[in-house]
Every structure is written in structure tokens, then in C-alpha cells.
Chain A
Amino acid sequence: MLLVPDWPGDRVDRTGEPLIRADGVWKIFGRREDRIIGTPAAELSRAELRAQTGCVIAVRDVSIRVWPGEVFVVMGLSGSGKSTLARTLIRLIEPTAGRILIAGMEVTAASPAELRQLRRHMVSMVFQHFGLLAHRTVIENMAFGLEVQGVQRNERLARAREMLRLVGLEESESSFPDQLSGGMQQRVGVARAFAVDPKVMLYDEPFSALDPLIRRDMQDEICRLQVETEKTMIFITHDLPEALRLGDRIAIMRDGQIVQLGTPEELVGSPADEYVANFTRDIPKSHVLTLRWVMREPVPEDSTDGPKLDVTTTVRRALPALAAGEKPVCAVEDGRVVGIVDRATVLQAIADERGD
């Protein structure tokens, strides 16, 4: 099983302005919840706060930046606040505190009309339970976003038909949602979101309700659409393999806070704490870690005529080159040899996977 995407290394240019910026976002459910932030109560654990005030902290002081074209995954167990965080970004749930900017627009200060414009044109969301309109056909569902915008019927149906082709549901144009399988329903959900051509796609555990085989297909589909359309994606999941597979960067949430934010290999290679380490324990490291994580500094005595691979190659992909000859592999960055990987190091990395 291949865990990481086919695109090499870090594709995202993070030098410019981020497309999405969330600073110090809080969400507390309960009465007079806005009085808690800034007081000592805000430092309490969830259980203590609930016992004292009856309020529940869903998101605690979260800040994220997402750059254009990036796939940003938020991962956590149920109740970690990840879905709430995603909803606060377009204010489906009002954040209790914090500032959110999307494409330069201050979402947290937007008027209802501005917020509608943002939701209509900038951000589209895909939901775990699909959220399809049971009383409308597939094509009408896909055209719904455009209908809400006020696009003429013929125009929106034409656009919806394109989407139908994009997700391969031409046959089901006039079916109703309850006549489709779960996987097909979620394709409708994805196509509906794409139909309005948003800049940002917000996926809230889109595949959790699907069985594992379909889930793999859908992940491939997302990878393909990502390559074809270059959207910025925020992807919520509780499934670590899914996160590793899709994410350029992954934020792991626990009790409403981000406990670690990094690339897949950073998470697997150096988990920030016991909690993250527990998550990543069962992940085959050779699938995620690149040569950069296992290589040693080159010394003059090393022969550099062995096979040359980019430092971003995963250990697993380097195996054939190592097995083919006696010589250690040279890890190359910008045409320069930056490290040496020999059999012993690789074997050690694979041995670690067993948790020994």
C-alpha cells in the first residue's frame, strides 16, 4: 500500500500571502461562553471547565495558515474539535473569539451579505453525511449552488452536466439520492461543491461514512481532482492513513487544541508527544519517511558513484536501488549530494516499524 501521494516533495509555495488565515480561534459551547476567554477558567481542562461553568470548549486558541494550492489536513479523534474548527472558518458555527481571513476578506467581521458571497463563490464544503436534497435529482443537486446564486436554469444545468462527467455519474443524471450508493452520493456532494468553482474546498470527514474500498477510490479521486483543478483544500479526517495520503501538512487536534502541525514525515519521524506517537506507531515508517530522515552526513571516504536519488524519495522507493547494487545510495538536493543512505540505516528504519 502506497501511503504518500505521487507528487514529489513539497509542491506548495509558502513565500506569498496565505489564502486562509485563522488567528486565535476559540469556540466554547454554553451560556455566557464569551466571558471565559482571558480568565483563568480558559486554562482549565475540558472536564474541569464543564464542571465549573457548564460550558464545553470545542476549539481552544487555534491558529492556522493555508497557502494557495495546499492540501491542509486537520486530524483528530471524534470530539477533538476538528469539525467545529472547519465550520467556524465559514461561520456555519460562530467562533467565540478569534480572527479569520480568507483571500483577504475578514470573515469574522463580514456582514451577512458578504458572508453569503464568500460561501457562494469562494469556499465550498463537502459533508460527512452528504447533505443532499432528497427531493431533487442528482443533476438538480449538483446545480443547487448555482441556483442559490441565481444562475439561469439552462446555464446551471449545463455546468452541472460538466460536473456529472467530471465525477463519472453521467448515467445517474435523473436519479434521486436515495437510489445511489453511499460512494455515489458523496460523488454528487463533491461535484456539487466543485460546480461553483470555488477557490477553497472544505472537506468534513467526507469519506468516514463509506466502506474502506470505496474510501480508497474516493481518495484517489480527490488526488486526481486536486492535480487537475489546483484548489486549496482543507480536509478533516479521523483516519491517519488518509491524512498522510492527502495532506501536504497535517494538524493533529486533541481536546480542541492543535498538538502538532507538520508534514507527514515530520509527524511520523518526530512525533511531538506521546499522543501523536500513539497515532503514528502503526504507520509503516518506510512509506512516509524520506531519505532526508535516515541519511547521514557524507564523509570524504564515501564513494559517490552509487545510485543518486532525490532527498524527498521515500525509503520504500529507495529499496530497489539499494538492493540492485552493493553501493550506498546518494541523497541529492539541487544537484548536490547531501547525504548517504546505506543498507544498515534502511534496515534499521524498517526494523523500527515493528515497534521494537
Chain B
Amino acid sequence: MASVAETVTPAPIVVHRHWWRGRLVQVTGIVALMYVAYRAWAIEYPWPNDLVWNSLSLHLDDFQVWLLTERGKEDQSIVFTVFEGFSSAIDHLVEWFNRLLLWLTWVGTTVAGVALIFRFGGLRAATIMLFAFAAFALTGLWEESMQTLALMLVSVGLSLLVGIPLGVAAGRSAGFRRAIAPVLDAMQIVPAFAYLMPVAILFSIGPAAAVVSTMIYAIPPAIRITALGVRGVPVSTVEAATSMGATRMQLIGKVQLPLARRMILLGVNQTILFALSMVVIAGLIGGGGLGAVVTSGLYSNPALAILAGLAIVIIAMALDRSTEAIAEQTDPAHRHLDETRKRRLRLQTLAIVGTIVAGVGISKAFGAAGAYPDEAGNPPHTATIEEWLLTKIQVVLDYVQDPTTWVFAITERVGIFILQQLLLPLQEFLMEAPWFTTVAGLTAIAFVVSGLRPALTTLAMLGSIGFTGIWALAMDTLSQVLVATAIAVAIGVVLGVLAAESNRFSKVMRPVNDLLQTLPQLVYIIPFIYLMPVSIVPGSVAGVLYAFPVTLRLVERGVRDVAPTSVEAASAFGASRRQVLTKVKLPLAGDAVMLGVNQAIIMVLALVVIGGLVGSGGLGYEVAQGLVRGQFGQGVIASVAILALGIALDRVTQGTRRSRKEGIA
């Protein structure tokens, strides 16, 4: 009986605090002390060598050698046989899908894709899908797109195969939910870039490694949203079915799954988007397809890399809209299907199947190619279009990089300002300050902001970073993260408040937000390599762009969710709009702002480490070197440090909201 529990929730206690007890004041104080220590002892106390496990890197290299020899042996142990079997099964699956898509021929694949989306998602979604296929053809990237699609089908399919049953279990059992929550948290906090290395070692570079690292990233949303959907099924409906003697399987199959269906499909949508955002970095460990075109073209053929990036964005948008439409349109609870409409739909399905079979049959009969033919001259105009696109992109690139144009004059100045006024001073401060004051300071901030346990976690994480011997590199990365987060939060808060106050602005920002959140991480960086070619700036600026929409959204929702009665009350006292905003709305939306900082810092970290690929240095560079040069030991250490840094930053900024929520639950 819910009412019993609800009646006893204690009222929030408001305690009057002295000015020096305020969190902001305390954090400022700690930072000031850290600065004093820095001025007094700069460069005198780097992380001491006695506290470093120097041979760790060698051990890891040994481990990798051992792994390779074990794998190469004739008489493998059962563990390796299973592992290899799993790995090659995934490789084959990806390969099989890839061949299927080519076997269907480019006409057949287009017909099948568009017809299926039309049947379940409606005309609009089908049109977008058709547009996407046209884009693959005209960019001359048909084969790469099909490879990426095959990789997606396998990664998303396996993610759902794991995620949905676990999500149902988590939705049904609070105990299970609590048990897996920290694991899911960790999976989402750790930047994907950090686990490329371990996964590549375990599965060796190839499609399997790409699929596994994509799954690590894409499974959490599948589990979370499925669980949310199952929990959203009205209690009384579940109780009613139970009271009629339904078995557990009947309850799941006849009640919980159908009623959670819409949410589960939205979970599928999120899983696809998460998986797509991994396409590019999966290209680094054998994912192939468009991702590989982007990563290999970064320096050698930037126009082509950008074109492939655009193709990924188009796939993402098409799949996003399609799955969203499917989720909405096939929801049985709102569709009200009667017998006649059911019959009509069945006929429609038959017609669609017929269309697909006919489409594939005819195109095969006429000898259509597997991939869209894009060699010069056959058909003549497409090669021209591809050429044309590449030329145009190159023109834009040349223009923005031309020192005599106004664009470069602005972007270079901004880039240099960020570098000299923000990034370098902070980098110097963090890298040269005595190690113990930095550890103590960050731990103290975690304690002030989030509480004792987060502070202890932070201490442990910072300790392990130092212990593995890459303290200075981690501080380098940290300085970039902090600068980018500060800018992203500032932009996010300002735009978020504007969006909350103005419906029109909110409407304008929404598609921009959507676009920025569906882009794969690396795609953010590419433009800035050319716009602001100033050492470590591109990674940080891309991080700002990647992270501010989340802060914007959270702040907008937080400000909008402030109870209208509070706003009314303030207005009734004659408060001006600004007073209402600064004295009522923003303080009450404080939790949302804090959450915005927390999310932004995690997202920025993900991008800054990817920036290691293009000159951001720090931990990301170590991982990139490990991947490119095969320095596995050092790469794995950097990966672990990224993980530790991610957890520490999450704990420092999580605030007390989690504990507060648990108190109410």
C-alpha cells in the first residue's frame, strides 16, 4: 500500500547557514589555498617516483605477448577456444550481413529498407530513409555505408539481446536494479576511448572488437529505458493480472512487455544512436566502413573524412526518425486496432513483402551491382556529383584556413585566446603544483560538494592515477576538461535560461540540440582541426560543443519545472522578471544546474581524450599511440587513468542529489 509509505515522508528541513558554510565559498577557499601552495612550491613536488609502480607497463606488455602466444597455440585452453569462437562468430555475423546487403544489390537494399520503414514508421520516416540511401549513393560511399550498416545491425541487435531481458529484470526487481546501477553508471561515465585498448587486446583488432566496444557503450541505455518502461506499467494493471492468477511468464508476456512496448522501442532508438556515435572510434579498432574512412582521412584526405562524417550523420538522423516513428505508430495502447484495420494492415504487410521480393528480383535480373556503381563514367553523373561535393568541401576548408579571410582572423584569435589565457595557465597550475596539495584540494572539493564517500572515491582514484605513473599527463587532460567544461556550462546555463524564458528561442534551439547530440564524437573535432589549428584547442572546443546542449536542456527543464505557484507568489510581491529569475527560479533550479555541470564534465572528458588523436596530448594521446604504434602497456595504463579520472570527476560534481533522492526513496 503506497499511501502508508507516502504519508510519512518528512518535510524538508531548512537550516540557516553562516556565509562561510556556503559550498561556493568553501570551494573558492580551497582553490585559493591550492594556488598559494602552487606559488610557493611550483615544480618542486612532482608526483614522487617512490610512489609509482614503474614496472606496470612492462607487465602489461608481457601479458599481451602471453595472450598472443596462447592464442596462436595449437592446443588452446578451453577459455581461449570459447573466446576465439565468440570473436570469430561476431566477425562472421558482420561479414554475413555485409554480404547480404550487397547481394540484395543497391536497388534491392534501398527498396527493402524504405518499404520496411514505410510499413512500420509511415511515409515521413520512409522519405527520410530514401534520402539517406540517395546520400550513400551520391557520396560514392555506398560500400562503406553498407559495412557500417552491417556493423550497426550486429552491434545493436546484440545490445538489445542483452539489454532488453536485463532491463525487464531490472524493471521487475528493485534488488536487481540496485545491483546493476553502479555497473551501468561506470559504463556510461568511462569514455569509450578508454576501453578501446583493452577490448582490442582481448578480441584483437577487427569487427568483433568494434562490436564489443560499441555494445559496452550501447547496452546501458537499452537496460535503463526498458526498465523504465516496465516500471511505468500501472501497478494496478500488474496487480489485476496477478490477482487473476497469471504466472510470471504470462505477466511479462501479456501485460508488462506490451504495455512497456513504446518505451522499449524508444530504448531501441537510443541504443541505435549510442551505437552510431561509436562508429568512428570503432573504425580505429577494425570497425571498417565509414568510421575507418573518417579516422584514416583525418589528415590524408580531410574532405573525404568530412563527407564520410556527413554520411554517418545522415544515417543517424534517418534511423533516429524511423525508430521514433515506429515507436509511436505501433504502440498498441494508443492505436486502437479493430479487426478491419488489422486485416488491412496484414494486406499491407503482404504488399510490402511482395514489393521487396519484386524489387530484389528485378534488380538482380537486370544485373544491378551490389554497391552503387561509382566508378568514373558509369553512370557518368554520380562520379561527378561525388567529385563536386569533395571539391566544394575542399573549397570551404581552404577558405576557412586562408589567413587573409575574416573567418580565420576570428577563429584563430579565439583559439589563441583560449589557449594562452585559459588552457596554458591552468595546465601549468595543475601540472606544476605540488602533487599533495592537488590531491588534497580535489578531495576536499569532492567532500564539500558531494560528501564523504564521493571524497574517498576521489582520493582513491587520484591515488591510483599517480601510482601508475602518469600523474602529469592526467593533470594535462584535467586542465583541458576543466576549461572546456567551464565554457560549456556558461553557454549552457545562459542559453538554457533563455530557452526556459522564451518559447520561441526554445523552438529554435531544439533542432540544433538534436543535431549536436546525434553526431558521433569525433565528427565534432574535425571542423575545429581546420578552424582553430592551434595545438590542443580543437579537442577542447569540440568538447564545449558536444557538452553544452546537455547543460542547456537540463537547465531549461530545471527552470521550467520551478513550481508556478512560487513564481506567482514572487510576482504577487511585485518582483520584476529579473528578480523572479535570480531570486526564485535559478536557486530552485540549482539541482538541475549541478546535474548539468556533472553531465557536461563527463561528456567533455570523452571528447578531450578522443582529441588525443589530433594533438590534444594528455592521456588521450597515450591511448592513441598505444592503438597506432602498438604500445599496449602504456595505452592500457592511460585507459585506466581515464577511467579513474572519469569516476573522480563524476564524484566531485555529483553533488548531494543522489543521496538526497535515496533519502526520499
- Closest chain B residue, CB of each to CB of A54: B8
A131 touches B240 (CB 8 A): yes
Asked if A127 meets B336 with Cβ closer than 8 Å, knowing A29-B4, A119-B244, the reply is no
Chain B interface SS verdict (over half)? helix
Assuming A79-B3, A127-B236, A130-B236, is B243 touching A50 (CB within 8 A)? no
Partner of A127, one of B1, B240, B250, B254: B240
Contact indicator per residue, chain A 278-295, by CB within 8 Å of chain B (1) or not (0):
000000000000000000
* A129 lies within 8 A of chain B by Cβ: yes
Q: Is the CB of A84 within 8 A of B242?
A: no
In the complex, the answer to whether A119 meets B243 with C-beta atoms within 8 Å is yes
B241 on the A face (CB < 8 A): yes
- Contacts A58-B1, A128-B236, A129-B234 given; does A120 touch B333 at CB 8 Å: no
In angstroms, how far is the closest chain B Cβ from the Cβ of A135? 4
Give the residues in chain A near B5, CB-CB below 8 Å.
Answer: 29, 56
Partner-contacting stretch, out of A15-23, A61-69, A144-152, A336-344: A144-152
A270: Cβ under 8 A from any B Cβ? no
Cα distance, A78 to B4, chains bound together (Å): 9
Q: Is the CB of A133 within 8 A of B247?
A: no
Q: Which of A79, A92, A128, A179 contacts B243 (CB 8 A)?
A: A92
Smallest CB-CB separation from A118: which chain B residue? B245
Q: Which one of A118, A124, A127 has the highest number of Cβ atoms from chain B below 10 Å of its Cβ?
A: A127
- B1 and A116 contacting across the interface, CB-CB below 8 Å: no
The 8 A CB mask of A25-64 against B (1 = contact, 0 = none) is 0000100000000000000000000100000101000000
- A145-171 near B? 1/0 per residue, CB < 8 Å: 101110000000000000000000000
User: What size tier do the contact residues of chain A reach?
Assistant: 35 or more
> In angstroms, how far is the closest chain B Cβ from the Cβ of A281?
25
**Is A134 part of the contact surface with B, judged by Cβ < 8 Å?**
yes
Interface contact B234-A56, CB-CB below 8 Å: no
- B250: nearest residue on chain A (CB-CB)? A148
Contact A179 B336 (CB under 8 A): yes
Closest residue to A149 on the B side, CB-wise? Answer: B245
Determine if A247 is an interface residue (Cβ-Cβ < 8 Å).
Answer: no
Q: What's the count of A-B pairs with C-beta under 8 Å? A: 106
User: A120: which of B7, B236, B245, B261 is its contact (CB, 8 Å)?
Assistant: B245
Interface residue A196 (Cβ < 8 Å from any Cβ of B) = yes
- A229 close to B (CB within 8 Å): no
Report Cα–Cα, A84/B8, bound state, in Å. Answer: 17
Determine whether the beta carbon of A116 is less than 8 Å from that of B247: yes
Whether A135 lies near B240 (C-beta < 8 A) is no
B1–A81 touching, CB < 8 Å: yes
Q: For chain A residues 77-100, which have a beta carbon within 8 Å of chain B?
A: 78-79, 81, 83-84, 87, 90, 92-93
**Is the Cβ of B1 less than 8 Å from the Cβ of A117?**
no
CA distance A29 to B8 in the complex (A): 12
Given contacts A92-B243, A119-B245, A179-B336, contact A58 B4 (CB under 8 A): yes
A132 at the interface (CB under 8 A from B): yes
If A56-B8, A58-B1, A134-B259 touch, whether A148 touches B245 (CB-CB below 8 Å) is yes
Q: Which of B7, B244, B339: most chain A Cβ within 10 A?
A: B244
The residues of A that contact B243 with a CB separation of less than 8 Å are: 90, 92, 119, 123-125, 127, 202
| 24 A–B pairs (Cβ distance < 8 Å), ordered by A | A58-B4, A78-B3, A81-B4, A83-B1, A84-B4, A116-B246, A116-B247, A119-B243, A125-B239, A127-B236, A127-B239, A129-B234, A129-B236, A131-B234, A131-B237, A131-B239, A134-B259, A134-B333, A136-B332, A137-B338, A144-B241, A148-B244, A174-B339, A196-B244
Given contacts A116-B246, A127-B239, A131-B239, 6 further A-B contacts (CB under 8 A): A92-B243, A119-B244, A124-B243, A132-B240, A135-B258, A145-B245
Interface residues of B (CB under 8 A from A): 1, 3-5, 7-8, 234, 236-247, 250, 254-255, 258-259, 261, 332-334, 336, 338-339
Q: Which residues on A are within 8 Å of B, measured CB to CB?
A: 29, 50, 56, 58, 78-79, 81, 83-84, 87, 90, 92-93, 115-121, 123-125, 127-137, 144-145, 147-149, 174-176, 178-179, 189, 192, 196, 202
